[in-house]
Amino acid sequence: QQRTVLISGCSSGIGLELALQLAHDPRQRYQVVATMRDLGKKEPLEAAAGEALGKTLSVVQLDVCNDESVTDCLSHIEGGQVDVLVNNAGVGLVGPLEGLSLATMQSVFNTNFFGAVRLVKAVLPGMKRRRQGHIVVVSSVMGLQGVMFNDVYAASKFALEGFFESLAIQLRQFNIFISMVEPGPVTTDFEGKLLAQVSKAEFPDTDPDTLGYFRDLYLPASRELFRSVGQSPRDVAQVIAKVIGTTRPPLRRQTNTRYLPLTALKAMDPSGSLYVKTAHRLLFRWPHLLNLGLRCLACGCLPTRVWPRQTEQN
Ligand code: NAD
């Protein structure tokens, strides 16, 4: 029997790729409701869907920040029954805190966090009644670890992680699974939109040192990371499709093995210093070696003396 999968944010990137992969599932296990805020952007998805369009894939309007839009969207689905919800829609925000308005920060939370909460509230009663369901969240490695100048974006993903981990405990009683997928950098419009935003932004009230760290240290390092270890949206969508296809889905799934050691540092040192010091060293001492640093952390080949010791005092 086919499962109905509702995905948010399908006009581009990971959402678009995932919608296509599930709609083209060789076993036709899914009825994909690919949603997007602006239907004017449906052309690339529809063109790539080919014969799946109208069969295993339909495109429906959905703004995750709008209650009415959520109700309208569900009214397009038979019985409003969503078996798998994929919270993918999200926006980024980078820059020095001093130069960002609270309204801008709140809008990130409105999309990334409350957008997912709004959808969950809409589909959860049905899932509970049926004692069946799967809620997938496109989180980020930044849902597990803080990253410099991504304070608010990381906070929005941490919020998701806390919310869904809490919910997962209760939902075991209802046979409903939660899965948080945590990609590292992915080469989608996401980065381009961020860089465009940054090039226009003035970051008022920011001291020259901070602005220098942002523009001359963080931005080039970030570009280099996307270039060197960035995954394609297709690869990330493949991981999500696999998570959706398993009978006992995991609560967390990282998509990029390069990030596993960095995220493991937090678990290794409960004081939290090891991760913060390592991230600081990587950025401030060897920004041009970030990619190599990640690789060497992964294989353990870097001499341990260059990494902060776990026992080191703050
Ligand atoms: P993307 O910009 O191509 O996709 C994001 C989608 O969300 C867009 O289609 C956008 O229109 C949509 N969206 C934004 N606000 C919306 C709203 N209010 N209602 C409905 N849709 C809305 O970028 P992507 O990389 O495919 O991002 C998808 C998810 O992956 C996001 O949650 C993002 O945080 C996460 N992620 C991305 C990266 C990365 O490096 N690209 C890394 C980790 C996690």
* ipTM confidence: 0.99
What's the 97 CA to ligand 1 centre distance in angstroms? 22
Q: Apex CA 173: angle with CA 172 and CA 179, to 5°? A: 20
The kind and range of the H/E element at 182 are: strand 176-182
Shortest-distance Cα residue to atom 32 of ligand 1: 90
CA–CA separation, 92 vs 277, rounded Å? 25
- Minimum CA distance residue for ligand 1 atom 10: 9
Q: Looking at residue 194, what is its pLDDT?
A: 87
Residues in a beta bridge with 253? 181
**247-276 as b/e: b if 16+ CB within 10 A:** eebeebbbbbebbebbbebeeebeeebbbb
Q: Which of 188, 228, 234, 239 most suits a substitution to test ligand 1, by most atoms within 8 Å of the C-beta?
A: 188
User: Residue 223 corresponds to which tokens in the numbers above?
Assistant: 């570009």
pLDDT on residue 298: 55
Rounded Cα gap, residues 290 and 271, in angstroms = 24
Confidence of residue 313 (pLDDT cuts 50, 70, 90): very low
* Residue 301 confidence class, pLDDT cut points 50, 70, 90: low
- Pick 263 or 276 by higher pLDDT: 276
What is the Cα–Cα distance from 37 to 71, expressed in whole angstroms? 14
pLDDT given for residue 309 in this prediction: 46
124-133, 183-192, 194-203, 222-231: least confidently modelled range: 194-203
Per-residue pLDDT tens over the stretch 224-236: 889 999 999 999 9
CA distance 14 to 11: 9
Give the pLDDT confidence score for residue 303 in this predicted structure: 43
- Ligand 1 centroid to Cα of residue 285, in Å, is 31
Q: Tens digit of pLDDT for each residue in 73-120?
A: 999 999 999 999 999 999 999 999 999 999 999 999 999 999 999 999
Separation of CA 221 and ligand 1 centre (Å): 21
Task: List pocket residues of ligand 1, CB cut-off 6 Å.
Answer: 8-9, 11-15, 37, 62-65, 88-91, 111, 115, 138, 140, 183, 185-186, 188-191, 193, 233
Mean pLDDT computed over 28-54: 98
Per-residue pLDDT, 314: 36
Using CB atoms within 10 Å of the CB of residue 172, give its burial: 0 to 12 exposed, 13 to 18 middle, 19+ buried: exposed
Judged against a pLDDT cut of 70, whether residue 293 lies above it is answered with no
**CA separation for the pair 28, 52 (Å, rounded):** 10
CA 180, CA 252: separation in Å to the nearest integer?
A: 5
pLDDT reported for residue 292: 66
Domains of the chain: 3-255 (3.40.50.720), 258-314 (no CATH)
Tell me what pLDDT residue 131 has: 98
Please spell the DSSP secondary structure of 295-306, one letter per residue.
HHHHHT-S-GGG
218 catalytic? Reply is no
Residue of 21, 60, 91, 141 to mutate, ligand 1, most atoms within 8 A of C-beta = 91
Asked if 61 and 170 touch (Cβ cutoff 8 Å), the reply is no
**pLDDT reading at 41 higher than 70:** yes
Dist. CA 88 → ligand 1 center (Å): 6
Residue bearing the CA closest to ligand 1, atom 24: 13
Q: What is the pLDDT of residues 146-195, one digit of tens each?
A: 999 999 999 999 999 999 999 999 999 999 999 999 999 999 988 888 88
* Residue 22 pLDDT > 70: yes
